Structure 1
Amino acid sequence: MTAPEEGGSVPFLLPGSPPMRDTVAGWDHWRVTRHRFVPAPRLSLAEWRRLSPRKRTLHDLHRAATHANLPLLQTPMTKAVTKLLHGRIMTNALKRKPTTRAGVMVTGGGYQGKTETTCEILATFEDTWLQLHQQLNPAAVPGARDLHVPVAYVQPSSTSTAPRCTRGWICPT
């Protein structure tokens, strides 16, 4: 593979700030674009040295972006979390009783992929759910303010010590 052309666009950089997943529009944008990142091509030292200074800089930047956006690995733990969380979400989505819906708490040390794993599971659920409903709210009334949002993401506070309704939870609505 080769680095981007001298005058071409840089495909790995997206304009603007990252999508804010705690808004409907931000979550939807992230969900739809979450797999569009293209990792940097692997170059040998000789191939890298043959690049122009500009292409080297672009390749190095692309490599740094690749390392900052590593794909989620399917480990035994992520498979277990996926199975549990997907099952819980589907059960809750189908539940029509007014009783409390069961939840899941994913705990662990920092920078281990808890949020990204959970968001990926929920985005996959939402993709499937919207396909089932053909991207529409089947009970929507024309002209009304019906907004079909199967998943809600709330950015957790890094200093929260107890569960609160306003911050810190990812849940199917």
Structure 2
Amino acid sequence: MAAGCQSPPKAPPAPTAAASTADRVVVLKSRRLLELLHAGNVLDSFPIALGREPFGPKQQQGDGRTPEGVYQIDYRSMQTKYTRALHISYPDENDRARAQAMNADPGGAIFIHGLPNDYGPSDPPQWYKDWTEGCISVGNLAIVKIWDEVPDGTPVEIRP
């Protein structure tokens, strides 16, 4: 299995686009912030935790880095060890080519997800440190809102 968070089974369909639904997700790694945008306006923003090696783009499986680039939400799951999880379409063609040039596996199973299920609905302060294998983690209350506001197919831009 690819590196990253466990790849859960697919969930029921995502919400359909509406006026208050995000049409873009922007992740600002250096600011540890995820923004939901609609028509260029920020609808909401959430603090995030990243891979345990947060600087630079993901290069290969097991490096603990969070990818950088433009991807999309391609499926979601509630059958996971995290509250909810939205899969990001990493690796793309460029990521695979970069890894191949290094004779490495690019990894995969990169998600925007909540905290582990045993945390409950409140977010303990210690989760803000970078702890994932390359995923983007938000609080449990935040992932419910993101789940409701971000349809499958939404672009996800991950910036340094």
Query: Looking at CA atoms only, which structure, 1 or 2, has the larger radius of gyration?
Result: 1
TM-score (norm 2): 0.33
Q: Which has the higher contact order (CA 8 A, sep 6+)?
A: 2
TM-score (norm 1): 0.31
Q: Please identify which structure carries the higher strand content.
A: 2
